[in-house]
Amino acid sequence: MLTFLLFISFILLLTLFARVRTLDARLRHMERYLQEATKKIGKASKEPAPQVVGEPDEPVPTSVPDVVPAATAASVQQPSVVERCIAWCKDEWLMKLGGLLILLGLGWFVSYAIAQGWIDENGRIAIGLVAGAAVLVLGWYRIQRFIHQGSILMFLGAAIIILTLFAARELYDMFTPTIALVLMFGTSCILGVTSINYKYPPLAYANVLLAAIAPFLIASADPSLVTLFTYLFVLAAASVWVTVRTGWRPVTLLALIVVSFYSASALSNEPVSTQLDTGVLFAYAFTVLFFATSVLGMRVAKRVALVDLWTALGSGAFLLMWILVAVSPEWQSMLLVVWTLVFAVGAFVAVKAGAPRTYFYSYAGVGVVYLGVATALELSGASLTIAAILEAALILWAGYRITGRVNHVPYLALPMLIPVLLSFSSIESQLWRTSILHEDAAVLALIIAVATGFGAYFYELRLHLAETERHIVRQAAQFFWIGGAVYATIFVWLGAHALAAGDTGTMAALILYTLVASTLFMAGHVTGATWQRYAAGVYIAIVVGRLLVVEIWQMALAERVVTFIIVGSVLMLVAWLERGQLGGLTATRAPSEK
| Widest pairwise Cα distance in the chain | 113
Statement to judge: residues 369 and 393 lie in one domain: no
Q: Are residues 332 and 267 in the same domain?
A: yes
Within its chain, how far is the Cα of 149 from the centroid?
Answer: 36
- pLDDT of residue 300 exceeding 60, the answer is no
Percent of the chain with pLDDT over 90: 10
pLDDT digits (tens, 9 = 90+) for 268-287: 776 656 677 888 899 999 99
pLDDT at 291 over 60: yes
Domain end call among 330, 353, 378: 378
Q: Distances in Å between the alpha carbon of 107 and those of 79, 92, 110, 210? A: 37, 23, 5, 19
Q: Answer with the residue of higher pLDDT: 140 or 464.
A: 140
Say yes or no: 335 and 355 in one domain. Answer: yes
Asked if pLDDT for residue 46 goes beyond 80, the answer is no
Mean pLDDT is highest, among 90-94, 361-365, 385-389, for 385-389
Q: Of 323, 354, 378, which one is at a domain's C-terminal end?
A: 378
pLDDT at 4 (0 to 100): 35
Report CA torsion sign: 112, 114, 118, 121: positive
Residue 298 resides in a domain: yes
Indicate whether 218 and 282 sit together in one domain: no
Q: CB under 8 Å, gap of 24 or more: what pairs does 362-365 form?
A: 362/304, 362/308, 362/309, 362/312, 362/313, 363/291, 363/294, 363/312, 363/316, 364/399, 365/313
If asked whether residues 127 and 173 sit together in one domain, one would say yes
Domain annotation covers residue 534: yes
Task: Indicate the range of 1-10, 213-222, 229-238, 314-323 predicted with least confidence.
Answer: 1-10
Residue 1 belongs to some domain of the structure: no
**Residue 390 clears pLDDT 80, i.e. is over it:** yes
Rounded to two decimals, the pTM is 0.63
Mean pLDDT of 508-519: 87
- What's the confidence (pLDDT) of residue 446? 94
Q: Residue 79 above 60 pLDDT?
A: no
Q: Do 504 and 455 sit in the same domain of this protein?
A: no
Please indicate, yes or no, whether residues 235 and 296 belong to a single structural domain of this protein.
yes
274 and 365 fall within a common domain: yes
Q: Evaluate if residue 150 carries a pLDDT over 90.
A: no
Residue 405 has a pLDDT of 77
The confidence score (pLDDT) of residue 43 equals: 54
pLDDT above 70 covers a percentage of the chain that reads: 73
Write down which residue in 340, 355, 378 finishes a domain: 378
d(CA 181, CA 159): 14
Q: Domain limits at 394?
A: 380-487
Average pLDDT on 160-188 reads 85
Query: Does 366 share its domain with 230?
Result: yes
Number of structural domains the chain divides into: 4
Q: What is the pLDDT of residue 55?
A: 40
When pLDDT is averaged across residues 435-441 and rounded to a whole number, the result is 89
> What is the distance between the alpha carbons of residues 362 and 365, in angstroms, rounded to a whole number?
5
Least confident of 36-50, 349-363, 434-448: 36-50
160/249 same-domain check: no
**Are residues 368 and 384 located together in one domain of the fold?**
no
Distance CA 461, CA 474 (A): 9
Q: Please compute the mean of the pLDDT values over residues 168-192 and round it to a whole number.
A: 85
- Least confident window among 58-62, 182-186, 278-282, 444-448: 58-62
Let me know if residue 442 belongs to a domain: yes
**Average pLDDT of span 372-395:** 88
Mean residue pLDDT across the chain: 77
Alpha-carbon Rg for the chain, nearest whole angstrom, is 36
Assigned domain for 38 exists: no
Does residue 18 surpass a pLDDT of 60?
no
Q: 469 and 444 in one domain? A: yes
Q: Would you say residue 51 lies in a domain?
A: no
Secondary structure of 119-166 in the HEC alphabet? Answer: CCHHHHHHHHHHHHHHHHHHHHHHHCCCHHHHHHHHHHHHHHHHHHHH
Q: Is 72 among the domain residues?
A: no
Establish if 101 belongs to a structural domain.
Answer: yes
